[in-house]
Amino acid sequence: MDKKIQEVLELWHDFFKDVSHQYSEFEDSDVEYFVGCMLYNHFDFEYALDTMKTIDLSYDFLSVVESNYDIVKQTIESIKFKDEAQKLVFLQTYLSEIKTLYSGDELYLLNRLSYHVNGIKQRQEENIKSKKVDFVTPKAKSRNPLLR
């Protein structure tokens, strides 16, 4: 694992060992997920879906990490690559390594992030620039006779 990322994870895991810092529904894998989100946002992927150019970090998480956030943000911003392909490999490798540490429900957020990152990789390989997503309610095909 990248040394900078390992240091960031250790910082936040040590911080969250103090139960008073934990928010409701906190799971250890939240740390890896939010670091992954920060990397995703920092890398500013050209092939990301229009609606997924950035991922909002949870208010619960941000409200408790205090000044640690600035330290982590600086560390994340110091990670540089010359092209999007390298960024994707870095983030995919990070997610693959991290997902081996958890199981079951702890993987939910990490799997969600992986899904978005893998979509970027697929669009990049096929050179498909994302189009603006237009959310339209589909027309009903038939009416349910049980509803009155």
Look up the pTM and report it.
0.83
What is the predicted pLDDT for the residue at 133?
A: 58
Which residue type, as a one-letter code, is found at position 106?
A: E
Nearest CA-CA partner of 131 in 45, 48, 54, 44: 48
Please state the length of the chain.
148
36-95: pLDDT as tens digits = 999 999 999 988 887 788 888 888 999 999 888 999 999 999 999 999 999 999 999 999
